[in-house]
């Protein structure tokens, strides 16, 4: 135990620096392992429940209609019950909530929200709602990895990186796409590319993939699709496909936000009940549209020429996804978007298939539809491209995918002014997700990295002792005074000579009250305290010993850091 106490402070100080380190890489892998274990439990619970009434996982057409319509109704009631137990105020879930927590709370996820996400996500996916498992996976991954950082009381800047590690491991564990998971975290969640962040996230994604493969095998769910290279004459038609995907993404996002706005004042239980009724009604008529993306893939593969069936699944899945997510059912948007994109891509393949006389290209167009719709809906073009590369195992699809993704993205942004569905939700919920340039820089550096121990501390001195100490002080040494209050608490004052006060005849000594911050804080918290006066300092302490100083951070250190980083002050 003594060795642990000696080792931990040096680790905390090392991780306060925004640099690549072996320690952070190891912790990232451990965080990825914790995230992967949570995702494995999550997936096993879904598969276990579905195996009771489904012949094939996620295919709700294999269950009788008499049972099928009851599943979403029962699921909605149980989800509402869990939300009631944990408290409705803890029902903020999914990727938008995680992005908000990453930016403002260093990725630390509340436990009650996570309980809602874990059990609510299991019930939603097991009962046939058209939601994806990546939303819960991202939430659970961030919780598992950031909890490790909180347990070790690491600096907040490193906890945020660990949360990113958990998210990457969670997505990797969900879709078996480790590289796409890394890109998604950097492009959508963290929204930055830095090597000291990239390396541990990459390692955690590998851990997530390997651990999950040991349980579920290495087969990908898109392995059913026959992906072949296509010739150059398809490229002009793919531009048209990209335009269609960009337009559909706009329709999807617009109607999602319309539903969220329309039902925002409804009680949660009523919204969940309506989602259950809509899913039960549509699922009774179109069972192929229920569930995440797997059922849609199966029918896209087995009936690539059945226009009526594919159109029916497309319309049904759009409706079910919009109502489920728009009304607050816990789950992600990526899985349903994959399913919708696969069906839409298969539909778009019918014309070129008729020209060449066979449907061998249907699988290729299905994957291109998935990538184009993902890029335009979530504003994640690079993650969409990497996902295609990982899932296709065919370098010949890279150029067509790039063409479709860029066309879909530009169509959505320029012609429809479409925004990322995640940012639209964050704006609507009024959850901040942007940082000022100064905070963005300062949040990456922990206070332990710049801790200053050049000070002299006097305990309850009189005026004469203060003057003597100031006279003997050698710059840049500071003089701190500890005053004891009647209630038993203490306060710290930064003491120095004030020329203006001495000229008026008042005491020449200036006393500046100091606020304290824990050793986990970043320079952003220091800046928030000192930016108004632009002078003084804060003192740093450990939570277990709040009255024991371990150092100070001066305003000039904050200023130097900002000036060093692109003249932000």
Tell me, what's the pLDDT at 389? Answer: 87
426 and 467 in a single domain? The answer is: no
Q: How far apart are CA 204 and CA 219, in angstroms?
A: 20
Listed residue (204, 200, 140, 145) closest to 169, CA to CA? 204
Average pLDDT rounded to a whole number, residues 520-547: 88
468 and 411 in a single domain? The answer is: no
> For 128, which DSSP code?
T
283 and 395 in a single domain? The answer is: yes
At 3, the pLDDT band (50, 70, 90 cuts) reads low
Q: How far is CA 45 from the centre of its chain?
A: 23
Pairing of strands 537-542, 545-554: antiparallel
Q: How far apart are CA 34 and CA 460, in angstroms?
A: 48
Tell me, what's the pLDDT at 490? Answer: 78
Reading the block at residue 97, the tokens are 């909530």
With a cut of 80, say whether residue 547 has pLDDT above it: no
429 and 511 in a single domain? The answer is: no
Query: Mean of the per-residue pLDDT values for the chain?
Result: 88
Total tally of structural domains belonging to the chain: 2
Task: Report CA-CA distances (Å) from 559 to 435, 462, 495, 537, 556.
Answer: 18, 33, 20, 12, 5
User: For the ranges 71-75, 88-92, 410-414, which has the lowest average pLDDT?
Assistant: 88-92
226 and 266 in a single domain? The answer is: yes
Reading the block at residue 38, the tokens are 């949570």
Which of the listed residues 369, 399, 434 is the one where a domain comes to its end?
434
393 and 427 in a single domain? The answer is: yes
User: Is residue 441 situated within a structural domain?
Assistant: no
Which of the listed residues 395, 414, 434 is the one where a domain comes to its end?
434
Reading the block at residue 233, the tokens are 């004459």
User: For the ranges 167-181, 466-480, 528-542, which has the lowest average pLDDT?
Assistant: 466-480
Average pLDDT rounded to a whole number, residues 142-158: 94
Residue 520: give the domain boundaries: 446-564
User: For the ranges 27-36, 84-93, 238-247, which has the lowest average pLDDT?
Assistant: 84-93
Listed residue (137, 165, 220) closest to 33, CA to CA? 165
Tell me, what's the pLDDT at 207? Answer: 95
Tell me, what's the pLDDT at 1? Answer: 47
User: Is residue 268 situated within a structural domain?
Assistant: yes
Q: How far apart are CA 547 and CA 559, in angstroms?
A: 27
364 and 477 in a single domain? The answer is: no
Pairing of strands 509-518, 537-542: parallel
Q: How far apart are CA 366 and CA 520, in angstroms?
A: 47
**Do you know the residue count of the chain?**
569
Name the 3-class secondary structure at 478.
Answer: strand
403 and 514 in a single domain? The answer is: no
113 and 246 in a single domain? The answer is: yes
Reading the block at residue 359, the tokens are 């449907």
CATH code: domain of residue 495: 3.10.580.10
The H or E element containing residue 96 is helix 94-105
Verify cis geometry, omega within 30 degrees of 0, for the bond prior to 476: yes
User: Is residue 439 situated within a structural domain?
Assistant: no
φ, ψ of residue 330 in degrees (nearest 5): -65, 125
Q: How far apart are CA 348 and CA 161, in angstroms?
A: 41
128 and 255 in a single domain? The answer is: yes
What are 403-446's pLDDT values in tens digits? 999 999 999 999 999 999 999 999 998 888 888 888 888 999 99
With a cut of 80, say whether residue 505 has pLDDT above it: no
User: Is residue 428 situated within a structural domain?
Assistant: yes
Q: Where do runs of H (alpha helix) occur along 176-267?
A: 178-184, 195-216, 235-262
Average pLDDT rounded to a whole number, residues 466-475: 81
Tell me, what's the pLDDT at 154? Answer: 94
CA atoms within 13 A of residue 440's CA, in its CB half-sphere: 14
Which of the listed residues 412, 434, 456 is the one where a domain comes to its end?
434
Question: Do 184 and 205 touch, CB atoms closer than 8 A?
Answer: no
Burial of 324 (0-12, 13-18, 19+ CB in 10 A): buried
With a cut of 60, say whether residue 82 has pLDDT above it: yes
284 and 364 in a single domain? The answer is: yes
Q: How far is CA 247 from the centre of its chain?
A: 26
Tell me, what's the pLDDT at 481? Answer: 85
Name the 3-class secondary structure at 305.
Answer: coil
φ, ψ of residue 437 in degrees (nearest 5): -55, -40
User: Is residue 504 situated within a structural domain?
Assistant: yes
Q: How far apart are CA 268 and CA 110, in angstroms?
A: 19
Q: What is the reported pTM?
A: 0.90
405 and 529 in a single domain? The answer is: no
Q: How far apart are CA 38 and CA 28, in angstroms?
A: 15
Question: Do 305 and 350 touch, CB atoms closer than 8 A?
Answer: yes
Q: How far apart are CA 522 and CA 567, in angstroms?
A: 19
User: Is residue 440 situated within a structural domain?
Assistant: no
Reading the block at residue 397, the tokens are 């699809």
* Token pair 């006066």: residue: 533
Burial of 474 (0-12, 13-18, 19+ CB in 10 A): exposed
Q: How far apart are CA 41 and CA 533, in angstroms?
A: 51
CATH code: domain of residue 14: 1.10.3080.10
**Long-range CB contacts (within 8 A, 24+) of 228-233:** 228/360, 228/361, 228/363, 228/364, 228/394, 228/396, 229/364, 229/394, 229/396, 229/397, 230/361, 230/364, 230/396, 230/397, 230/400
Question: Do 335 and 292 touch, CB atoms closer than 8 A?
Answer: yes
């Amino acid at each position: 135990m003594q060795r642990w106490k000696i080792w931990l402070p040096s680790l905390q100080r090392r991780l306060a620096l925004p640099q690549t380190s072996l320690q952070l890489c190891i912790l990232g892998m451990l965080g990825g392992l914790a995230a992967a274990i949570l995702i494995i439990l999550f997936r096993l619970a879904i598969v276990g429940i579905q195996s009771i009434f489904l012949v094939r996982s996620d295919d709700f057409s294999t269950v009788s209609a008499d049972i099928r319509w009851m599943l979403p109704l029962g699921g909605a009631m149980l989800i509402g019950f869990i939300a009631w137990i944990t408290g409705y105020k803890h029902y903020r879930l999914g990727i938008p909530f995680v992005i908000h927590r990453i930016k403002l709370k260093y990725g630390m996820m509340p436990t009650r929200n996570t309980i809602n996400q874990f059990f609510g996500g299991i019930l939603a996916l097991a009962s046939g709602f058209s939601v994806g498992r990546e939303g819960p996976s991202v939430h659970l991954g961030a919780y598992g990895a950031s909890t490790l950082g909180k347990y070790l009381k690491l600096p907040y800047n490193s906890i945020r990186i660990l949360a990113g590690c958990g998210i990457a491991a969670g997505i990797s564990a969900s879709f078996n796409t480790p590289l796409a998971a890394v890109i998604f975290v950097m492009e959508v969640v963290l929204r930055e590319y830095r090597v000291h962040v990239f390396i541990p996230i990459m390692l955690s994604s590998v851990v997530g993939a390997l651990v999950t493969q040991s349980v579920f095998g290495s087969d990908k769910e898109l392995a059913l699709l026959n992906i072949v290279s296509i010739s150059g004459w398809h490229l002009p038609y793919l531009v048209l496909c990209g335009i269609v995907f960009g337009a559909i993404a706009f329709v999807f996002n617009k109607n999602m936000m319309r539903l969220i706005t329309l039902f925002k004042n409804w009680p949660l239980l009523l919204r969940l009940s309506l989602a259950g009724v809509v899913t039960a009604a549509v699922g009774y008529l179109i069972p192929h549209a229920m569930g995440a993306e797997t059922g849609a893939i199966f029918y896209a593969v087995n009936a690539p020429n059945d226009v009526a069936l594919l159109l029916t699944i497309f319309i049904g899945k759009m409706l079910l996804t919009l109502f489920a997510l728009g009304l607050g059912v816990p789950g992600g948007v990526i899985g349903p978007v994959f399913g919708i994109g696969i069906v839409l891509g298969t539909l778009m393949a019918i014309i070129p298939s008729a020209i060449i006389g066979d449907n061998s290209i249907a699988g290729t167009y299905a994957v291109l539809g998935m990538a184009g719709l993902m890029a335009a809906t979530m504003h994640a073009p690079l993650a969409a491209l990497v996902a295609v590369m990982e899932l296709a195992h065919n370098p010949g699809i890279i150029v067509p995918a790039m063409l479709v993704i860029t066309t879909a993205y530009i169509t959505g942004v320029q012609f429809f002014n479409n925004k990322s569905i995640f940012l639209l939700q964050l704006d609507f919920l009024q959850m901040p997700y942007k940082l000022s340039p100064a905070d963005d820089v300062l949040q990456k550096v922990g206070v332990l990295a710049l801790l200053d121990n050049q000070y002299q501390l006097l305990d309850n001195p009189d005026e004469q002792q203060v003057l003597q100490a100031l006279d003997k002080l050698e710059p840049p040494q500071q003089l701190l005074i500890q005053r004891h209050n009647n209630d038993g608490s203490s306060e710290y004052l930064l003491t120095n000579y004030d020329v203006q006060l001495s000229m008026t005849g008042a005491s020449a000594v200036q006393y500046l009250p100091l606020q304290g911050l824990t050793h986990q804080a970043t320079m952003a918290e220091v800046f928030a305290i000192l930016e108004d006066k632009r002078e003084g300092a804060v003192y740093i302490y450990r939570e277990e010993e709040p009255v024991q100083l371990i150092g100070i951070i001066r305003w000039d250190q904050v200023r130097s850091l900002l000036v060093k980083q692109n003249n932000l002050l």
